[in-house]
Amino acid sequence: MRTRRALIHSAAERFERHGYERTKLSEVSEGAGVTTGALHFHFRNKADLAEAVEHAAIRNLYRVARRAQCGQPDALTELASLSYELAHLLHQDVVSRAGFRLNYEMSGRTRLSIHQEWQSCVQRLLVQAGEEEGAPIRTLPLCELTDTVVGATTGFALLARDNRAWLSPKVLTGFWRAVLPDCALESNGDGAG
């Protein structure tokens, strides 16, 4: 398992830096400190390795989603908390960044869709928020608000490739204030800085 994790981490570093096409398996194995034979023991080919990186990114997304659910008073606060947790994850974790990048750039290559997972999560929380007593979520129709949140947060992740400040709590707080001005959605201080 240690070798497999080292290979996934090494592949993520190279996929993030060079993209899928330009990443060489020999560089991945070298970065993990193992032979190319050891790499092929765990992964048939580059596509298999890329899928493992994407699966690891999805697991990380589920992990932060569970953490964001804990102790939140309402669905909008949970959604905002999740956006900060996701930004922090992408800021700190190369495997998650690479998995998101691979999944976005190579859509259709795999059954996984991180974007669809995120969209489903956002929509579920916005529906839940709309059903809560006195929820101030009347700014846009549900489908438009979902598209706005998903589009903006995905855009922040893409922009962060060149400048990680796009994943900062300041940017997310500004976004939430602009989209839902009647809500007091603030960073809990644990997000990327």
Domains of the chain by start residue, with CATH: 51-179 (1.10.357.10)
pTM of the entire predicted model = 0.81
Distance, in Å, from the CA atom of 120 to the CA atom of 30, rounded to the nearest integer, reads 38
Cα dist. 122→24, 39, 139, 152 in Å? Answer: 36, 37, 16, 12
Structure-token match 């330009």, residue found: 22
Residue pLDDT tens, the chain, 193 long: 999 999 999 999 999 999 999 999 999 999 999 999 999 999 999 999 999 999 999 899 888 877 777 777 888 888 988 999 999 999 899 999 999 888 878 766 666 778 888 888 899 888 888 887 666 566 667 888 899 999 999 899 889 888 989 999 999 999 998 887 766 555 544 444 3
Q: At what angle do helices 46-69 and 114-131 cross, to 10 degrees?
A: 20
Residues 6+ apart with CB under 8 A from 186: 80, 173
